[in-house]
Amino acid sequence: MKSKLLPILLVVLIILNGVLIFMLIKKPHLNNRNQAERIFLIEQLQFSKDQQEKFKSLDNIHRRKMMDLDQRIIKQKDILFNSFADETKNIDSLVTVAGNLEIKKELEVFSFFKSVRKICTPEQQKKFDVIIDKAIQGGNSGHPRNNEHHPERGEGMPPPPR
């Protein structure tokens, strides 16, 4: 009984490993999400064919820049977290480099959306601003902005300090 179960178990584990490796490398779940985000903006702003082409070009450039920054951040964090035993490494400078890369990433996101807004008509820009504002707020469940809503006591607020 055990000798028949072992090869079957081994085959199942090999197949599972193959699926996991595929998901780590290709990340199909992220590609579908990114595609949906592209389509969402194109549909919501009702881009013309010309605007769609410009948007796709901006988006491709943006994605390449973001992937490059992500890789650089990962490398920098690897250096940082592999330096526990190395007393000669300047931790502050390693953290500063990682922080500067995060700043570049935020600036790239801002620059991308600013470029997208420039290809919009004035009417589309109004819609775009509403979409971005909702995204910043996190949809309807976002944090209060501009003192618009303050939760009542017991609505997620911690007890007052004693």
Question: Sign of torsion, CA 119 123 125 130?
Answer: negative
The pLDDT of residue 12: 81
Q: Which residue has the higher pLDDT, 83 or 162?
A: 83
Residues 142-154: pLDDT tens digits?
444 444 444 444 4
Q: Helices 49-81 and 91-118 meet at what angle, rounded to 10?
A: 180
Residues 12-61: pLDDT tens digits?
888 888 777 777 776 655 555 556 777 888 899 999 999 999 999 999 99
Neighbours of 45 (CB within 10 A): 22
Choosing among 1.20.1420, 1.20.120, 1.10.150, 1.10.357, the CATH entry for 48-137 is 1.20.120
Neighbours of 137 (CB within 10 A): 14
Residues 109-145: pLDDT tens digits?
999 999 999 999 999 999 999 999 988 888 554 444 4
The whole-model pTM stands at 0.62
| Dihedral (Cα; 136, 69, 32, 58), 10-degree rounding | 80
**35 phi and psi angles, rounded to 5 deg:** -65, -40
Residue of 79, 80, 73 lying closest to 100 (CA atoms): 73
Q: Which residue has the higher pLDDT, 83 or 157?
A: 83
The pLDDT of residue 150: 46
